[in-house]
């Protein structure tokens, strides 16, 4: 069972590790293709928040979109590596990454329901949602297994005569 669990973690985390590696290789002075895709989507999100809440939310001047992208790459890459090794910290890092990135990058709610882009974004959103659910399942199983180990350690055996 341990080997199958490891293979499952490797194949699952490969999605995140390879995507992070691709972003690192593409990252240059201008941030690369990932920044080109992130910037307009983040602007749309901030505009939606500002219109809904009636105030002007802006990123602090010292915090640029490039810094947010570097944070996302770190969460994605390091979280994937730690998850491969069976660390719950890695799973939590991937959960945080998915929670932050999914509503920004897969903004299906900004498109007309009949458009092709809506369907692409909605499918991407659902894929990330399923990964989020798989990570929650992993954490739940890991926590219940740890609790069962603790219970077995604390069970005292009756002494035989």
pLDDT in tens, 76-110: 999 999 999 999 999 999 999 999 999 999 989 88
Domain boundaries, the chain: 16-151
For 115-153, how does the pLDDT look when each residue is reduced to its tens digit (9 = 90+)?
Answer: 999 999 999 999 999 999 999 999 999 888 777 777 777
Please answer whether residues 39 and 65 qualify as being in contact, where contact means their C-beta atoms are separated by less than 8 angstroms. yes
DSSP, residue by residue, 28-91: -TT-HHHHHHHHHHHHHHHHHHHHHHTS-----TTS-HHHHHHHHHHHHHHHHHHHHTT-HHHH
Q: Are 131 and 124 in contact (CB under 8 A)?
A: no
| pLDDT interval class at 27 (50, 70, 90) | confident
Query: Could you tell me the pLDDT band of residue 159, with boundaries at 50, 70 and 90?
Result: low
Q: State how far the Cα of 94 lies from the Cα of 138, in Å rounded to an integer.
A: 12
């Amino acid at each position: 069972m341990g080997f199958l669990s490891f293979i499952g973690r490797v194949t699952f985390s490969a999605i995140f590790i390879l995507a992070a590696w691709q972003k690192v290789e593409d990252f240059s002075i201008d941030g690369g293709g990932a920044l080109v895709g992130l910037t307009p989507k983040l602007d749309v999100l901030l505009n939606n928040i500002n219109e809904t809440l009636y105030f002007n939310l802006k990123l602090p001047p010292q915090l640029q979109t490039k810094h947010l992208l570097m944070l996302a790459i770190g969460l994605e890459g390091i979280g994937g590596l730690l998850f491969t090794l069976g660390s719950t910290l890695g799973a939590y890092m991937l959960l945080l990454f998915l929670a932050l990135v999914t509503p920004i990058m897969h903004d299906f709610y900004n498109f007309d329901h009949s458009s092709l882009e809506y369907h692409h974004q909605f499918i991407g959103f659902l894929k990330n949602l399923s990964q989020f659910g798989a990570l929650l399942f992993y954490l739940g199983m890991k926590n219940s297994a740890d609790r069962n180990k603790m219970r077995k350690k604390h069970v005292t055996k009756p002494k035989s005569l």
